[in-house]
Structure 1
């Protein structure tokens, strides 16, 4: 027997002993989040998972720490890669140049504007970046993806996800009410506004549903088009952080993380039309479970006392960012021909 063959099983055994308990706990947390999501579909499984992690993180055994950290890092990357299968380039292009311009303006204005608002409100740069990313692009998954290249504390990430939950849930009722009774939007425009301004995909579906199935379909495509912009946003921040020469872990992040490259590869693969429908459905479910496990691991590292310190200012920033994104989206929809 060669040395490699002799050592490899031992390494596997040691790795399993060190990380196994935490991975199992993360899996249980993800399962619990999926169950809650089944009961309340408008409440994202990712959001539930991070909140469950925060709740139980302080009482989990120390033996689970390594595995939870591993699950957070690895499952996040795989989950984001699989997100690329949810949308094709053709679906994006069918929105038309006018609508694509609206999406770009909304995302870029929301991102940059929230960073400025963060300074004015007085929150940390890390929290401002997390809120800017989550509110302008795609909620919790965008936040944890950006965290992989940015200098941010786990408390900033958890606060950002919590704010996505609060304001995204409020939007489920506010967006259709304002769109229909105040702004007089037709069903298609309401679906577009929901896709542009609401944070999580599940929240978008709930917000657009009063306008009918066609509006929901439009809202989801618009929303997923915002998701596509996650790749250049993360890559751009990776470049900025790399140039700064400093990272939270003492090393320079890659310009373009490999999981972002994987996301783009999956997007291109979906665009070929060669992926069977059953595979797409399965990939979507697997992505949700993996991201939920990662979010549970993220939440478990948070300590509530630290989280509460930024609560009031974080709430103000979330409100202002929500107002900014919604206003820019509605204005762009009204002004730019589609």
Structure 2
């Protein structure tokens, strides 16, 4: 499918959950809108199973209500004038189910999401977590062949999101799902595969564990909490376009050769100092400028104009770390993995 600045081809297997990641403006919402039928691209074709939902070369364009696609968004978007049970029964009724059948499906899915007790309430009487449970039931009661999740947990408190995430993991098993998320836990616990979009194109894709352990795109690395440098491998080091050189451990040397490569390492492996440390290769020590300090539980992530480091609060105080402060970042070669881009 393609539109201005948006050009990609992807396939989601039946029963697979695909997590779509990427920075703001990468095209994640565009992708969901095209699948759902809200946005018409310039050209392209979309299939669900052996059924075409659009084919711009022939002029085929099924409207949203005929695509058998469901959507679960950040906000529950329940109809305020209907009860919870009526909200959940709305999808089956719209698809032609009789009142009795639709009510039975509503009861089933409210039971599945532990929300039967809310059946007679109006949406305004529900908490955020309760409303999202009902929204999940409503989406599934319509029996969509593909379910789209647009950051469904981002508007919930952290404690509530934990329970809803576990619920999604259970009820979405063996369903065909595309989820847009900014949360690494959503990808880890829900997705079989991850796709990273950058500027409307696929930057990388692969099994979730593989992408998060060994990302090949800058956003993929940031999402996984890792540092990434891109460049060309030569011997035991990688040379970036700005001539930055870092020594590391080469992974899968036969596949890598001397072509495009990435060097990946954890922020926790980076040592921050105000002077160049003694005993560390000058090629693995880099002058940098602090741009931001980000609290992460008991640690502080030091963002710089080169890459990030995780340090203790005590180290921040002792070294006087603050935005605008020049520092030296060093990392042992044994902590750096170099592999094909």
Task: Please confirm whether the aligned pair reaches a TM-score higher than 0.5, indicating the same fold.
Answer: no
Q: Which has the larger share of strand?
A: 2
Superposition TM-score, scaled by structure 1 size: 0.23
Q: Which has the larger share of helix?
A: 1
Larger radius of gyration: 2
